[in-house]
């Protein structure tokens, strides 16, 4: 793909940082070989979001998975 075919996403710096935090949290969880299918599905969905934040429900689900697998939230 050529660079002129890419379109800008126009995220603010703070939004990029927030997206990176979410990505880091998901990555730490994916390193766990014992994740159940349901947890993997939530992580897959969360990793495909095209917005720089989680909804309240998504945040609760991610926090629950982190707690369940003993992964620090941040």
In the 8-state DSSP scheme, what is residue 4? G
* Tokens matching residue 57: 């429900």
* Tokens matching residue 53: 């934040």
Which of residues 72 and 52 earns the better pLDDT score?
Answer: 52
In the 8-state DSSP scheme, what is residue 2? -
Q: What is the pTM of this model?
A: 0.80
Rounded distance between C-alpha atoms, residue 48 and residue 42, angstroms:
10
Query: What are the tens digits of pLDDT across the range 32-53?
Result: 999 999 999 999 999 998 889 9
Which of residues 6 and 23 earns the better pLDDT score?
Answer: 23
Report the chain's mean pLDDT, rounded to a whole number.
89
């Amino acid at each position: 793909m050529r660079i002129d075919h890419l379109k800008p996403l126009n995220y603010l710096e703070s939004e990029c940082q927030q997206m990176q935090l979410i990505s880091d949290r998901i990555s730490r969880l994916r390193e766990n070989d014992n994740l159940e299918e349901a947890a993997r599905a939530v992580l897959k969905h969360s990793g495909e979001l095209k917005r720089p934040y989680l909804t309240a429900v998504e945040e609760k689900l991610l926090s629950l998975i982190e707690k369940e697998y003993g992964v620090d939230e941040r």
